[in-house]
């Protein structure tokens, strides 16, 4: 027996209900309170694989990091029509399939420092293993605010890496051993109900859950970046559970992912699923903008120009939805000073991310265009909207003409959310980068991906800087007014503004300074 769902009528009523201030619930696909079992990983079978380049030990506040296994059963859905009539045009094709995955909880050591918010990241699997591109650029902000962060393995691409013992790039010795040998996710499509169940146990699990009862959870936000941003779009659009998730942050992603690679219902029969035919279908590209919880979507210059996200179109703001484009921003979120390969593998020194690329690198976390400043501000605005109903600042888009970004005389893109590094530039910021042609295999393949997703920095000459900033105060003044403008827009936090102004005041720029 197939189970169908269509929310077309609800979609028509939402704007009216929002306007009247009426609370409503979208019909649930499945019960998020379905029982799950939370256990600790086995000891002495291998080390934990910890995604993220910001270690808990490096955070300015005391944080605890713990890994858990979560197992339960979830239903598998696909689209009823090909192409789908909408994101909720779903049919259940299998019920109660068992899964077992893992998650890592990072929480304040002192429960009194917890602010009530849990951020759940769908870990990204583009590299072939779990990465944490939502956590990395905002880790310091999460810690400063007392937010609990939870990352979840949600795809077979990353699960295969864990099951294989965690062999980085296929060349380093396996470090996880058999630690993850019992994990299983029969189909990526199970992740949607699985994440509802995980969000629910994080919120209401008590002593049986991965968050101790001393931490009173009041809000749960879900987020993903790049490929897994597409998963969050699909989840928010078709699997939103009232009372389970309070907001969604779609970072550097604009296209929904199909639920799974299996069949959709049709006239032909399939041995695996009777009354269905194995055709692939994709949902509507964009995230729903009529949800009763805040949904923020942010893309960068790299996303628009290099990855071609512009072809999927932009969406207009609604009372609960905002769309932002950050000029000069890069897709790659990681910190530049991380060790990609430890010392002794490709030489006596460790290989860092910046060593992989042909040009000077630009990333979300380490700039010079610090997109993480905007992310931090929007995380705070999402919390305010969830708590008090205060809408986020209006969305902003980059200038384009016939689909091509418009650039100023310095080669930098105009329009969009503009950080001080764009309003008082010291370089031209390109949308993509390239791997250093001297990289040995297989490092060259990893470099091709990491650099392609990063931006390039082409510093101005001393003569250009002298012309742009003839007096000592010229540069700082532009940074100050840009910072002040972003603060007024609600797109920059006070703490990040202070860091920007402090760096600009101490910069050796303007008025004949030596460079």
Three-state DSSP string of 466-513: HHHCCCHHHHHHHHHHHHHHHHHHCCCCHHHHHHHHHHHHCCCCCCCC
HEC per residue, 283-294: CCCCCCCCCCCC
For 62, residues 6+ apart whose C-beta sits below 8 A from its C-beta are 108, 109, 110
pLDDT at site 263: 55
Phi/psi of residue 360, nearest 5 degrees: -55, 140
State yes or no: pLDDT of 65 exceeds 70: yes
Supply the pLDDT for residue 171: 66
Nearest to 102 by CA among 143, 125, 133, 130: 130
Per-residue pLDDT of 159-196, as tens digits, reads 999 999 998 766 677 889 999 999 999 999 999 999 99
Eight-state DSSP code of residue 491:
-
CA distance 163 to 156: 10
Task: Decide: 90 and 79 in contact? Cβ < 8 Å.
Answer: yes
**Which distant-in-sequence residues (6+ apart) come within 8 Å of 494 by Cβ?**
487
More confident residue, 358 or 284: 358
DSSP symbols for 230-288: HHHHHHHHH---TTT--EEEEES--SPPPS-SS-EE-SS--SSSTTEE-------SSPP
Question: Tens digit of pLDDT for each residue in 333-371?
Answer: 988 877 777 777 777 888 888 889 999 999 999 999 999
pLDDT at 419 over 70: yes
**pLDDT at residue 275, rounded to an integer:** 54
Q: How confident is the model at residue 84 (pLDDT cuts 50, 70, 90)?
A: confident
- What integer is the mean pLDDT of 136-165? 96
Query: Contact 455/437 with Cβ under 8 angstroms?
Result: no
- In angstroms, the CA 99 to CA 104 distance is 17
The DSSP output letter for 455 is E
Cβ proximity of 178 and 165 under 8 Å = yes
Q: DSSP string spanning 206-217?
A: GGGSSS-TTS--
Report how far residue 34's alpha carbon sits from residue 198's, in angstroms, rounded to the nearest whole number: 10
What's the whole-number mean pLDDT along residues 207-215? 91
Q: Which of 152, 166, 27 is nearest to 99 (CA)?
A: 152
Residues 93-97, mean pLDDT to the nearest whole number: 90
- Is the pLDDT confidence value at 218 over 90? yes
Residue 327 in tokens: 């000029």
What whole-number percentage of the chain has pLDDT above 70? Answer: 88
Give pLDDT, residue 505. Answer: 94
Among the listed residues 219, 227, 279, 278, the one whose alpha carbon sits nearest the alpha carbon of residue 255: 227
- What pLDDT score was predicted for residue 30? 57
Q: Is the pLDDT assigned to residue 142 strictly greater than 80?
A: yes
Residue 395 has pLDDT above 90, yes or no: yes
Question: Using an 8 Å Cβ cutoff, are 105 and 211 in contact?
Answer: yes
What pLDDT score does 265 carry? 57
Kindly tell me if the per-residue pLDDT of 230 is higher than 90.
Answer: yes
Would you give the DSSP letter of residue 26?
A: P
Confidence of residue 14 (pLDDT cuts 50, 70, 90): very low
Determine the Cα–Cα distance for residues 454 and 133; give it in Å rounded to an integer. Answer: 13
What's the pLDDT at 270?
45
Contact 306, 380 (CB under 8 A): no
Average pLDDT of the residues in 102-107? 98
Which pLDDT belongs to residue 5? 37
pLDDT at 82: 72
Residue 22 pLDDT = 35
Examine the pLDDT at 443 and tell me if it is beyond 90: no
**Across 309-315, average pLDDT:** 87
**Residue where the block lists tokens 């979120």:** 333
For residue 19, what pLDDT band results from cuts at 50, 70 and 90? very low
Q: With 0-12 CB in 10 A as exposed, 13-18 as middle and 19+ as buried, what is 455?
A: buried
**Beta-carbon count within 10 A of 419 CB:** 27
Q: What does DSSP assign to residue 391?
A: P
What band does 205 get if pLDDT is binned at 50, 70 and 90?
A: confident
pLDDT value for 280:
53
Res 32: pLDDT: 87
In whole angstroms, what is the distance from residue 486 CA to residue 481 CA?
A: 9
Tokens at 167, concatenated: 């062999």
**pLDDT beyond 90 at 372:** yes
**Which of 264-268, 429-433, 436-440 has the weakest average pLDDT?**
264-268
pLDDT of 261: 57
pLDDT band at 425 (very low <50, low <70, confident <90, very high): very high
What was the pLDDT predicted at 29?
55
Residue 445 is predicted with a pLDDT of 84
Q: Report residue 474 as tokens.
A: 């010229």
- Asked if 442 contacts 426 with a C-beta cutoff of 8 angstroms, the reply is no
């Amino acid at each position: 027996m197939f189970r169908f769902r269509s929310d077309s009528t609800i979609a028509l009523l939402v704007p009216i209900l929002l306007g009247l201030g009426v609370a409503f619930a979208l019909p649930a696909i499945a019960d998020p309170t379905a029982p799950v079992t939370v256990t600790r990983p086995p000891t002495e079978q291998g080390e934990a694989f910890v995604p993220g380049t910001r270690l808990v030990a490096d955070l300015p506040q005391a944080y605890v990091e713990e890994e858990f296994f979560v197992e339960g059963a979830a239903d598998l859905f696909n689209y009823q029509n090909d192409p789908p009539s909408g994101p909720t045009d779903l049919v259940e094709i299998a019920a109660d399939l068992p899964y077992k995955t893992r998650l890592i909880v990072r929480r304040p050591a002192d429960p009194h420092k917890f602010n009530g918010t849990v951020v759940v990241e769908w870990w990204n699997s583009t590299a072939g293993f779990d990465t944490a591109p939502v956590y990395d650029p905002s880790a310091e902000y999460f810690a400063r605010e007392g937010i609990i962060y939870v990352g979840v393995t949600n795809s077979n691409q990353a699960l295969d890496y864990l099951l294989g013992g965690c062999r980085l790039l296929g060349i380093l010795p396996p470090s996880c051993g058999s630690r993850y040998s019992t994990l299983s996710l029969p189909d990526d499509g199970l992740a949607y109900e699985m994440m509802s169940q995980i969000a629910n146990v994080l919120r209401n699990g008590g002593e049986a859950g991965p968050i101790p009862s001393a931490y009173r959870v009041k809000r749960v936000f879900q987020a993903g970046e790049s490929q897994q941003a597409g998963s969050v779009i699909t989840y928010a659009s078709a699997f939103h559970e009232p009372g389970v998730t309070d907001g969604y942050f779609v970072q550097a992603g604009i296209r929904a992912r199909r639920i799974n690679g299996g069949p959709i219902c049709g006239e032909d029969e399939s041995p695996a699923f009777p009354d269905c035919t194995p055709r692939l279908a994709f949902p509507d590209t964009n995230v729903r903008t009529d949800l009763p919880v805040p949904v923020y979507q942010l893309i960068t210059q790299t996303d628009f120009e290099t990855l071609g996200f512009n072809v999927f179109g932009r969406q207009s703001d609604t009372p609960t939805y905002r769309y932002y484009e950050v000029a000069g921003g890069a897709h790659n979120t990681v910190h530049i000073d991380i060790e990609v390969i430890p010392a002794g593998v490709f030489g006596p020194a460790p290989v860092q991310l910046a060593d992989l690329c042909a040009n000077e690198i630009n990333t979300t976390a380490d700039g010079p265009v610090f997109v993480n400043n905007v992310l931090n501000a929007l995380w705070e605005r999402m919390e305010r909207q969830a708590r008090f109903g205060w809408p986020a600042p209006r969305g902003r888009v980059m200038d384009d003409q016939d689909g091509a970004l418009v650039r100023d005389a310095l080669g930098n893109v105009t329009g969009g959310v503009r950080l001080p590094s764009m309003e008082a530039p010291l370089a031209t910021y390109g949308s993509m980068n390239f791997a250093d042609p001297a990289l040995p295999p297989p490092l060259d393949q990893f470099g091709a991906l990491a650099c392609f997703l990063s931006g390039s920095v082409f510093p101005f000459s001393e003569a250009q800087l002298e012309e742009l900033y003839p007096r000592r105060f010229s540069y700082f003044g532009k940074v100050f007014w840009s910072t002040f403008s972003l603060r007024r827009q609600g797109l920059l936090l006070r703490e990040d503004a202070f860091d920007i102004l402090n760096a600009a005041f101490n910069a050796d720029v303007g008025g004949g300074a030596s460079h």
